[in-house]
Amino acid sequence: MIWEALFLGLGYNATLVTLGAAILGIAAGVGGSFLFLRKRALVSDAISHATLPGVGLAFVVMVGLGGDGRNLVGLLTGGAVSAAIGLLCVNWLSTRTRLAEDAAIGAVLSVFFGFGIVVLTYIQTMTSGRQAGLEGFLLGSTAGMLQSDALVLALAAALTLALVLILRRPLTLVAFDPDFARATGRNVDRIDLAMMAIVLAVTVVGLKIVGLILIVALLIIPPVTARFWTERVDRVLLGAGIVGGLSGYIGAAISAAVPDVPTGPIIVLVGAALFLISLLCAPGRGVVSSVLHHRQYQRRVHLRQGLLALAQGQPIYERLTQRLMEQRGLMRGDGVATEKGRAHAARALLDEARWHVVRNDQAYAAAAERYDGLTEMQKVLTADQIREIDARLPAPQGAMP
């Protein structure tokens, strides 16, 4: 059943929801990347919660005007206006008062969300407007999604993605060095406002599928996941889009295949699973890679110390050092160095003397900064520099015992 859903074999409505969730995931992942890089992830929480009163008031207004209270465009417009007001409140409180941004976010989030709950409670007492299911905007609801709804969501997500791609250079500059951006004449406040507008658009678009509470996860989890795999901003954007798209696609497919499983939470759980995989398995930044690199570094330290001990005729007591030396054919089981071990030990002792010269000469300050006690001299200095250093050594190194 799940395989059928993944290959879009469960019917028209399931296909519509799955593709819409994938497009939303791509837009959310790319749009949330700059929020993550700018270290303002909590702003998305305030924006998402601030949409609730707007959705409720839009419903009341549309019903009062004799229209359909469940019109998606009207509800999303109301949510966008409310979220924009909330964003302006956060900006005013953090710039015009002594409140820190996190405190301003907490105040706006709680007040707007509380007001939204009051409005929803009032809506439940109304006798017209088809208010049943309106609370789905909290956690998302794709049941009964129409083709027109899916087209609205897909178009809005595509426009948001296009806006991110157009503004990616100034957004990147402000995310990493806002002071330099100001010095080059960039209007940092406007660029920040554009970033918030992108997040607001993604939040409003995602209300129908994942809800205002869980849209924050879809904005932040994909870029955090992508960051484990790369150091480049363009690749973070690409990776975040892929992770967000996969989360939306797989989560919506699972929700369509398994009865009574809500779409929004499943999408977030799929994203969390991808995050966990990256946390554990990503090269360079993952937990497994860090453990392996640490163990490799420890082995290098033991080998280096063992070679220096051999060169100076000192006994080796550390069992791990002995085992590593024996495994590499540098020492016999009785502790006597092999011919290969003596050659490596002499080279290690010579490098130590060279590094002593480098560390005490300002001409080699750049090379001295790279010294870690393990790096070979040939990887840091040129052959001519090494010959110059060798000429300055105080005396020939001691012979191996």
List beta partners, residue 331. 337
pLDDT at 250: 92
Beta carbons of 10 and 182 less than 8 angstroms apart: no
pLDDT at 128: 63
Which of helix, strand or coil describes residue 337?
strand
pLDDT at 285: 85
pLDDT at 399: 44
Q: How far is CA 174 from CA 189, 308, 314, 321, in A?
A: 10, 49, 56, 49
3-state helix/strand/coil string of 374-393: CCCHHHCCCHHHHHHHHHCC
pTM for the whole thing? Answer: 0.78
Kindly state the helix (H) or strand (E) to which residue 369 belongs, with its residue range: helix 365-369
Q: How far is CA 77 from CA 49, 51, 219, 364, in A?
A: 15, 10, 20, 63
CATH 1.10.3470.10 is held by the domain 2-220: yes
Token pair listed for 269? 């759980």
Which of helix, strand or coil describes residue 118?
helix
Q: Where do the structural domains in the chain lie, given as residue ranges?
A: 2-220, 288-391
Q: Is 201 exposed, middle or buried (0-12, 13-18, 19+ CB in 10 A)?
A: buried
Q: What is the Cα–Cα distance from 144 to 130, expressed in whole angstroms?
A: 13
pLDDT at 276: 95
* End-to-end alpha carbon distance in the chain: 73
pLDDT at 143: 57
The letter for the amino acid at 120 is L
Which of helix, strand or coil describes residue 262?
coil
The letter for the amino acid at 310 is L
Low-confidence ranges of the chain (pLDDT < 50): 397-401
b/e map 219-248, b = 16+ CB within 10 Å = bbbbbbbbbbbbeebeebbbbbbbbbbbbb
Residues 55-81 pLDDT 10s? 889 888 888 887 766 677 788 888 889
Which residues make Cβ contacts (< 8 Å) with residue 246, sequence separation at least 6? 22, 25, 270, 274
From the list 23, 50, 65, the residue with the least C-alpha distance to 106 is 50
